[in-house]
Amino acid sequence: MKRRDFLKSGAAGLTAAGLSPWLAGCSGPAGRHDFPAAESIASLGGQLDPVSCEMLYLASLAPSGHNTQPWQVRIERPDRWFLELAPQRQLSVVDPARREALLSAGAFLENLADAGRHHGRPVELAGADSENGLAILFVGSSEARPANLEAIANRRTLRGPFAPRRIRRADVAEFLRDTRDTEYFPPDSRESGWLDEATVEALAAQCRRLPVMEELSEWIHWSDDAARQHRKGLTPAAMGINGFTGWWARHFLESEDVLSQSFAEATIRQTKEEIGSSGGWIVVSGAGDSSEGLLSAGRQCERLWLKARALDVAIHPMSQALEETPWRTEVGTRLGLDAPPQFLLRVGYAAQYPPPVSLRLPLSAFVTISSGSDV
């Protein structure tokens, strides 16, 4: 084996295994700090008013699978916007029905609505089209109602380590307040045990499916140069790979390494370790798989997520059991749910809660202003 191939093989195993905390001094990867909000807003070249730009930037901080950022906004006039799905920023293998893309668009919409209320620009969902995922938004004018914009800016996905104990009743109550179809399953419950096993088994099934791993490899940008170029997808830092291991991954790993057997084995091993130290699961359900139902479920989940940092509770979405058969047909029954499950969120108290690092596209990449519109 050539020296470079040996180094890459070792890096793949260490990276997937998540052995990152031991040399934090070697960090310094590409991150959101490289692209401040002002730079993203300036990309529109002054075509849109500052308040609308801030609303759209904050909305874009919503979560999405593999950080695809599937939302697209077309502005027809100042009070009439269209929220769409960008075909080139979706996961056709693990999300062929665009369920997860619509859920992400719902989270985007929730952020947009919060920012709009804060600035006296309430956003009203006028309708959704199940054929193309189009949502018609009316942006009005009213008295400003302060919202926690800092919570939107600081929301982050964390993979661990989590404290392996129940979430306190008061914190569960706060999470569930103002949300519907949301349940918490503590780590010692039968339902949580089933989710633990189903997630590992579904992940193992995905690791055996070459198209799934090829799709994943396309959305991981290992090097800092690639991360800064694409400004979407997954980076080592966003996956919790920091320190010396993060440096190693950024300099040695390539897309093809994600397809290796060692990467798959280490990924499964690390997932087992993550699940073994968690505070249980929060499951968000929805009314169905219509566009409106999925947008609503996405808004519910983001509303919950924006409370997490203040409670020191970390959230790690793990959707594998909803993406693979036979588990996706069993989840609802196994958990005793009345509505279809849409989000499976591993939760737990975080030892550390660092600032967000996942990259974001500039506004010019997902906002278009119709020709002749007066904005």
For domain 3-31+156-349, which CATH number applies: 3.40.109, 2.40.128, 3.40.50, 2.60.120? 3.40.109
**What is the pTM (predicted TM-score) of this model?**
0.92
Q: Which tokens belong to 238?
A: 């966003």
Q: What is the largest distance, in Å, between two alpha-carbon atoms of the chain? A: 67
Domain boundaries, the chain: 3-31+156-349, 34-154+357-369
Q: Are residues 278 and 165 in contact, defined by beta-carbon separation less than 8 angstroms? A: no
From the number of C-beta atoms within 10 Å of its C-beta (0-12, 13-18, 19+), residue 42 rates as middle
Q: Are residues 57 and 40 in contact, defined by beta-carbon separation less than 8 angstroms? A: yes
pLDDT at 135 (0 to 100)? 87
Strand partners, 71: 85
* Residue 49, number of CB atoms within 10 A of its CB: 12
Structural fold of domain 34-154+357-369 = NADH Oxidase (3.40.109)
Q: Are residues 240 and 20 in contact, defined by beta-carbon separation less than 8 angstroms? A: yes
Q: What pLDDT tens digit does each residue of the chain (375 aa) get?
A: 343 443 455 445 544 544 333 333 344 577 788 888 899 999 999 999 999 999 999 999 999 999 999 999 999 999 999 999 999 999 999 999 999 999 999 999 999 999 999 999 999 988 776 566 678 899 999 999 999 999 999 999 998 889 989 999 999 999 999 888 899 999 999 999 999 999 999 999 999 999 999 999 999 999 999 999 999 999 999 998 888 888 999 999 999 999 999 999 999 999 999 998 899 999 999 877 788 889 999 999 999 999 999 999 999 999 999 999 999 999 999 999 999 999 999 999 998 899 999 999 999 999 999 875 566
> How many whole angstroms separate alpha carbon 280 and alpha carbon 296?
24
- 34-154+357-369 and 3-31+156-349 share a CATH fold: yes
Instruction: Tell me the H-state helices in 185-290.
Output: 190-207, 210-219, 224-230, 243-252, 261-276
Do the strands 134-139 and 123-129 form a parallel or antiparallel pair, or are they unpaired? antiparallel
* Residue 205, number of CB atoms within 10 A of its CB: 17
pLDDT at 175 (0 to 100)? 92
Q: Are residues 198 and 346 in contact, defined by beta-carbon separation less than 8 angstroms? A: no
pLDDT at 242 (0 to 100)? 85
Q: Which tokens belong to 111?
A: 């952020």
> How many whole angstroms separate alpha carbon 374 and alpha carbon 370?
9
Nearest Cα to Cα of residue 319 among 300, 345, 282, 294? 345
> How many whole angstroms separate alpha carbon 6 and alpha carbon 3?
5
pLDDT at 2 (0 to 100)? 41
pLDDT at 290 (0 to 100)? 85
Per-residue burial over 340-369, b = 16 or more CB atoms within 10 Å of its CB, e = otherwise: bbbbbbbbbbbeeeeebbbbbbbbebbbbb
Backbone angles phi, psi at 264, to 5 degrees: -60, -45
